[in-house]
Amino acid sequence: MGKNVRFGIIGCGLMGREFASAAARWQHFTEEIPQPQLIAVCDVNPSGRKWFTNHVPTVQYEYDDYRELLKNPEVEAVYCAVPHHLHEEIYVAVIESGKHLMGEKPFGIDQAANDHILEALQEHPEVFARCASEFPYFPAMQVMLSWIREEKFGRILEIKAGFNHSSDMDTKKPINWKRQACYNGAYGCIGDLGIHTQHVPFRMGFLPRNVYASLRKYINQRPDGKGGTAACDTWDNAVLFCEAVDKRGETVPMTLETKRMSPGDTNNWYFEIYGMEASAKFTSSKPDIFTFTQSWGKEQAWADIHIGYKPMLPTITGPIFEFGFTDAILQMWGAYMKELDGRQVSFGCFTPEETALSHRLSTAALRSYEERKAMDL
Ligand SMILES: NC(=O)c1ccc[n+]([C@@H]2O[C@H](COP(=O)([O-])OP(=O)(O)OC[C@H]3O[C@@H](n4cnc5c(N)ncnc54)[C@H](O)[C@@H]3O)[C@@H](O)[C@H]2O)c1
């Protein structure tokens, strides 16, 4: 693979712009990693494309139909960041075009869509595909991952992970596609936020065997932004109570929560692990802090380490500085590009196989709520 990889973006919204920004500061890395070179963009909305043609000098091609972008032989890889109801059609088309794919979660609006995407990948083993998930790249989470690998926690008692928001507490906030099941899917907040809670436990070998789900809808209508109202028919909050089996074969209770109505939370991603020898917590609300306790028997004390800027892939930023969301996106893309280049990273992006497990869990969660009982996966 050459030094740069020529990329197209399909979906020039919030996440498309985040990718362009990360790709533009590749000089941040201190090691040689192939750089994404953004040459083509596609969006049905001209104003989405305009941002890119105004701000990204390497963009040479602009399309309103993704099929045209996929016909461009110069494009080697595609970042696809479109609403969930389009994942299946567009991801499968990207894969069949032989271009590499970074897809967005939930990697298909439902189980059938995800199955179809994975079948296309099986038929095209030459395509490298991953699903975006950036929070594990916070340096404090990298410490957490080392502690898990080094088995510092001893026998695991429990895991809790979550991704919570509060902006929907504003009942006057206008509707968008993420609050409408026809675009966002029946999973609601689980499909939108769930993969973020699953990346670390799945990769660390905590695999859910069953689930009991509590799903809540609080707001049924929202302003449509045009003076009227529109149905808001997605799940607002979900708590999934799972039993996972860890690498030792032990059963570990695992709670995964995804909430849009979580007072005080702004994009709060967290992970907590409780063990016989030690326990630890991370929350993106305190992005620099790794909180841990060691077991001294009867009593324990929590302590905070301020980790500083010590990410998985080294950068020019000094280790005493702070790390943030845009840095996590850059790390995620660095990991994707290294893996695409055939190199190892200590913590890689969410794999298509992991998205399949995620869909089995989300589908079982919906059935669990319908039948009000625990479901095996
Ligand atoms: N990894 C993360 O942290 C994260 C955060 C937010 C969203 N997402 C995911 O990213 C994806 C996109 O979300 P977003 O927040 O960027 O949404 P967005 O609404 O900001 O952007 C989506 C874009 O897709 C465009 N689009 C719609 N139909 C299209 C079509 N047929 N062809 C081309 N473009 C089309 C829209 O015009 C829009 O510009 C979703 O899958 C979402 O779940 C991921």
- DSSP of 98-159: T-EEEE-TTSSSSHHHHHHHHHHHHH-TT--EEE---GGGSHHHHHHHHHHHTTTT-SEEEE
Same domain, 189 and 276: yes
| Residue numbers of the chain with a pLDDT score lower than 70 | 1-2
Establish if 330 belongs to a structural domain: no
Q: How many domains does the chain have?
A: 2
Dist CA 35 CA 28 (whole Å): 11
Q: Residue 89 and residue 139: Cα distance in Å, rounded?
A: 36
Is residue 202 domain-shared with residue 121, that is, in the same domain?
no
For a ligand 1 pocket test, name from 9, 10, 12, 14 the mutation site with the most ligand atoms within 8 angstroms of its C-beta: 14
Q: Of 74, 98, 131, which marks where a domain is finished?
A: 131
Helix 352-371, helix 189-203: angle, nearest 10? 120
**Is residue 331 domain-resident?**
no
Among residues 77, 96, 131, the one where a domain terminates is 131
pLDDT of residue 3: 80
Which residues lie closer than 8 Å to 163 by C-beta, 6 or more apart? 135, 193, 194, 196, 197, 257, 258, 259, 267, 268, 269, 270
Question: Domain check: are 140 and 257 in the same one?
Answer: yes
Distance 43 CA to ligand 1 centre (A): 10
Same domain, 124 and 179: no
Whether residue 106 is preceded by a cis peptide bond, meaning omega within 30 degrees of 0, is yes
Rounded to the nearest angstrom, the distance between the alpha carbon of 317 and the centre of ligand 1 is: 30
157 and 72 together in one domain: no
Please indicate, yes or no, whether residues 274 and 300 belong to a single structural domain of this protein. Answer: yes
Instruction: Output the pTM of the full model.
Output: 0.97
CATH code of 119's domain: 3.40.50.720
Domain holding 100, by residue range, is 4-131
- Ligand 1 pocket member 183 (CB < 6 A): no
132 lines ligand 1 (CB under 6 A): yes
Query: Residue 297: its pLDDT value, please?
Result: 86
CB of 185 within 6 A of ligand 1: the answer is no
Q: Which of 107, 131, 155 is the last residue of a domain?
A: 131
What pLDDT score does 86 carry? Answer: 98
Q: Are 150 and 243 in contact (CB under 8 A)?
A: no
pLDDT for the residue 171? 93
178, 298: one domain: yes
The pLDDT score that the predictor gives to residue 143 is 98
Q: Max alpha carbon distance in the chain (Å)?
A: 65
Q: Is the CB of 104 under 6 A from ligand 1?
A: yes
Q: Which of 12, 15, 91 to mutate to test the pocket of ligand 1 (most atoms within 8 A of CB)?
A: 15
Q: Ligand 1: does its nearest atom lie under 6 Å from the Cβ of 44?
A: yes
Alpha-carbon span 158 to 150, nearest angstrom: 17
Same domain assignment for residues 96 and 155: no
Please give the pLDDT value at position 120.
98
**Residue 178: its pLDDT value, please?**
93
Query: 209 and 240: one domain?
Result: yes
For residue 341, tell me if it sits in a domain.
Answer: no
Report pLDDT for 319: 96
